[in-house]
Amino acid sequence: IAELNNDEKGLIWPSAVAPFDVHVVATGKDEVAYGLAEAIAARLEAAGLDVLYDDRPKVSPGVKFGDAELIGVPQIVIVGRGAADGEVELWDRRTGDRDVLPMDQALVRLTERP
């Protein structure tokens, strides 16, 4: 699996065998971002998804993103810059696509996946 599902940054787990469904990454120093990230993680877990939540407060966003790429969870939710407006960034690890969405839209997209 690892040999066929990776890129130069790390693993990209197929959804069927990934250790987690979603990786939530809280960034910055703003408590709003951490509160929103915690709420998103809780709602995803309540919807039945396995969530890895990175809430390390003294770790830079770059290190957190690097760790997320190495771990290879298929979907990553980044909570940081737009947190005050209720926006998050949804990152598809396989395609590299990143979309900034309101939290509720990101939750719908993540919970409606096959």
User: Whole-model pTM?
Assistant: 0.92
What is residue 30's predicted lDDT score, i.e. its pLDDT?
A: 85
State the Cα–Cα distance between residues 2 and 47, nearest whole angstrom.
28
Of residues 22, 44, 26, the one with CA closest to residue 35: 26
What is residue 114's predicted lDDT score, i.e. its pLDDT?
A: 56
Proportion of the chain above pLDDT 90, given as a percent: 89
Instruction: Flag whether 10 is in a domain.
Output: no
Domain total for the chain? 1
Instruction: Flag whether 78 is in a domain.
Output: yes
CATH number at residue 78: 3.40.50.800
pLDDT tens sequence across 53-90: 999 988 999 999 999 999 999 999 999 989 999 999 99
Beta strands 22-26 and 51-54 are parallel
pLDDT tens sequence across 3-59: 999 999 999 999 999 999 999 999 988 899 999 999 999 999 999 999 999 999 889
Kind plus residue range of the DSSP H or E element containing 54 = strand 51-54
Instruction: Flag whether 36 is in a domain.
Output: yes
Of residues 18, 20, 25, 56, the one with CA closest to residue 40: 25
Domain extent for 97 = 22-111
Instruction: Flag whether 30 is in a domain.
Output: yes
